[in-house]
């Protein structure tokens, strides 16, 4: 995924990296140099508990933040009947603002890839 701000100016990328069991992403700058890793859990469907994707250093030795799907804030009824989701994003305050924006983009990508309902029909897909 490419993150732009303003439109047309690339500030970074989020690239899914292969792993046999875990969802993994590399956070890259505009020149495709890796700056952080995002590592998810083996199982992403944790009803009732938060699902956390850790933001880690390049060597994955230290956690520096977290992207989490917050199940407890939405409630079971809203989760079952709507496509609304609540996410939390944590990162160091002194992190470069462009990397923060790319992490926000990674949050949208994770939501789309793991938590959006497949095959749902939106307003543009409704026919008479």
Report pLDDT for 116. Answer: 80
pLDDT digits (tens, 9 = 90+) for 16-50: 999 888 999 999 999 999 999 999 987 766 556 77
Report pLDDT for 74. Answer: 57
Report pLDDT for 125. Answer: 43
pLDDT for residue 122 is more than 80:
no
Rounded to whole angstroms, the Cα distance separating 108 from 128 reads 31
Going 7 to 8 to 13 to 15, the CA torsion angle's sign is positive
pLDDT digits (tens, 9 = 90+) for 110-121: 999 888 876 655
Q: With H, G, I as helix, E, B as strand and everything else as coil, classify residue 89.
A: strand
Report pLDDT for 31. Answer: 95
Computed over every residue of the chain, the mean pLDDT equals 84
12, two tokens: 């970074």
pLDDT digits (tens, 9 = 90+) for 81-115: 666 678 899 999 999 999 999 999 999 999 998 88
pLDDT for residue 8 is more than 80:
yes
């Amino acid at each position: 995924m490419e993150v732009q701000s303003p439109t047309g100016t690339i500030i970074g990328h989020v690239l899914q990296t292969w792993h046999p069991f875990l969802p993994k992403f590399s956070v890259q700058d505009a020149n495709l140099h890796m700056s952080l890793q995002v590592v998810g859990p083996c199982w992403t469907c944790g009803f009732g508990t938060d699902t956390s994707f850790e933001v880690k250093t390049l060597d994955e030795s230290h956690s520096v933040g977290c992207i989490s799907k917050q199940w407890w804030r939405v409630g079971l009824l809203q989760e079952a009947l709507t496509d609304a989701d609540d996410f939390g994003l944590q990162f160091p305050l002194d992190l470069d603002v462009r990397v923060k924006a790319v992490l926000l983009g990674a949050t949208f990508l994770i939501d789309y890839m793991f938590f959006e309902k497949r095959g749902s029909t939106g307003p543009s897909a409704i026919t008479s």
